[in-house]
Amino acid sequence: TESHKVPATILSRCQRFNLKRLPLEAITIKLQKSASDMNVQIDNASLTRIATFAEGGLRDAESLFDQILSFAEGT
């Protein structure tokens, strides 16, 4: 995450990938699919809120979603 700290001799042998944050809609759609696959009922407002807290990180959104499911009973 701090490429300026890597020596030039190492950087010259590396490939650099600049990744972007996912849009809110893409994360919400992925969470909807996950909920459907797990037969979990959750409203779109809740999924959007989870996606907002994830700030573009799908892994963060999925972790939040799993944490919420562990405390949820049914819906």
pLDDT one-digit tens code per residue, 13-32 = 999 888 899 999 999 999 99
Two structure tokens written together for 58: 């799908």
Distance CA 58, CA 6 (A): 27
Other beta carbons within 10 angstroms of residue 60's beta carbon come to 15
Distance CA 56, CA 2 (A): 20
Q: Determine the pLDDT at residue 2.
A: 83
In this prediction the pTM is 0.77
Q: Determine the pLDDT at residue 10.
A: 93
* pLDDT(45) > 80: yes
